[in-house]
């Protein structure tokens, strides 16, 4: 069984690498003047804001470094890109690095944003008869496997006294999950911003539960292990610019919404709602945050959602603490 899982991961990795490699320009060698740092981002968040402002690109250009940005639909896909060597640095939620580490990915935690528990939720159609999380027993629930919302669902069901095995999970990426939600193919959808805000604004989706009182919903910055070892100064420049854009964003919510709307193609009203729930302030990963990650990893291992238990501390470089 273990050999089959390993073979499947290698096959998926090769397929992903082939698909991504065709879309990416060649990476210059470390010793050349025009070094490239490859950053993976999702449709929303600080890295999207950083890309939109262009401040990191300008600062690194002065050092002969080019920033190559690649968008991913969700955290698991982003970390697969990191694992196969298509990107060097990226941001995801709490659950994706746990699944990736359990699959053998060589990644390290290099920073995190503060908790943002109300940026993800379990939603149902506005006219749904479901009123509480307990009502989800036996129902079809769409979510992106291995994303932050996977842990939100675990915790919400646990609090409601519903065994995880008693719901019917339908694993779909956000775009496909929304389509299934709209046509009634699923009863509920567990989703994060800005897709969450879009579901509220455009579909009238009703919230059964968000993350408050259940999960922290940290956003983590991660890097490929070898890249982080070899590029400590460059990693610090990226984190410095993230801190700057965080500070700017905290004081300029309207401008944040305008930039994110332009970057994502979403209506400003949707982005404003999503941005109002965001938490700013990148920090080094602390022991408390790592312990919280370990609890999540242990929960996934206990339900056999990852193949074996992992130690989160193994994914931290001493130089990044």
Residue 189 scores a pLDDT above 60 = yes
Residue 21 scores a pLDDT above 90 = no
Cα gap 78→75, rounded to integer Å? 5
Query: How do residues 262-298 score in pLDDT, each as one tens digit?
Result: 888 899 999 999 999 999 999 999 999 999 999 999 9
Cα gap 194→318, rounded to integer Å? 34
Residue 255 scores a pLDDT above 50 = yes
The fraction of the chain above a pLDDT of 90, given in percent, is 80
Under the banding of pLDDT at 50, 70 and 90, the label for residue 44 is confident
Under the banding of pLDDT at 50, 70 and 90, the label for residue 23 is very low
Residue 173 scores a pLDDT above 60 = yes
Return the residue matching tokens 């001493």. Answer: 318
Please answer whether residues 189 and 153 qualify as being in contact, where contact means their C-beta atoms are separated by less than 8 angstroms.
no
Residue 19 scores a pLDDT above 70 = no
Query: How do residues 297-315 score in pLDDT, each as one tens digit?
Result: 999 999 899 999 999 999 9
Number of helices (H) and strands (E), helices first, in the chain? Answer: 13, 10
Question: What are the structural domains, with CATH classification, of the chain?
Answer: 36-114+218-315 (3.40.190.10), 120-210 (3.40.190.10)
Mean pLDDT confidence for 110-138: 97
pLDDT, residue 13, reads: 38
Q: What is the mean pLDDT of the chain?
A: 88
Mean pLDDT confidence for 195-214: 97
Cα gap 100→110, rounded to integer Å? 15
pLDDT, residue 29, reads: 33
pLDDT, residue 34, reads: 54
* DSSP code of residue 281: -
């Amino acid at each position: 069984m273990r050999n089959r899982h390993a073979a499947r991961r290698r096959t998926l990795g090769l397929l992903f690498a082939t698909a991504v490699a065709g879309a990416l320009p060649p990476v210059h060698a470390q010793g050349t003047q025009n070094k490239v740092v490859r950053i993976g981002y999702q449709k929303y968040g600080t890295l999207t804001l950083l890309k939109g402002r262009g401040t990191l690109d300008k600062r690194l250009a002065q050092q002969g470094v080019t920033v190559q940005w690649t968008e991913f639909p969700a955290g698991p896909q982003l970390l697969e890109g990191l694992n196969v060597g298509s990107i060097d640095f990226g941001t995801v939620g709490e659950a994706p690095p746990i699944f990736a580490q359990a699959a053998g990915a060589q990644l390290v935690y290099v920073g995190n944003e503060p908790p943002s528990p109300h940026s993800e939720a379990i939603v149902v159609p506005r006219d749904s008869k479901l009123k509480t999380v307990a009502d989800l027993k036996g129902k079809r629930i769409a979510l992106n496997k291995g994303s932050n919302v996977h842990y939100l669902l675990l915790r919400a069901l646990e609090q409601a006294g519903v065994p995880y095995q008693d719901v019917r999970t339908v694993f779909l990426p956000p775009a496909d999950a929304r389509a299934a939600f709209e046509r009634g193919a699923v009863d509920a959808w567990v989703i994060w911003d800005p897709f969450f805000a879009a579901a509220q604004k455009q579909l009238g989706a009703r919230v059964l539960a968000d993350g408050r009182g259940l999960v922290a919903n940290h956003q983590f910055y991660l890097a490929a292990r070898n890249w982080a070892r070899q590029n400590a100064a460059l990693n610090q420049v990226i984190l410095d610019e993230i801190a700057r854009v965080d500070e700017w964003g905290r004081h300029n919510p309207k401008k944040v919404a305008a930039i994110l709307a332009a970057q994502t193609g979403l209506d400003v009203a949707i982005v404003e709602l999503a941005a109002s729930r965001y938490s700013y302030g990148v920090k080094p990963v602390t022991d408390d945050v790592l312990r919280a990650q370990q609890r999540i990893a242990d929960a996934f291992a206990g339900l056999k959602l990852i193949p074996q238990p992992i130690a989160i501390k193994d994914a931290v470089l001493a130089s990044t603490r």
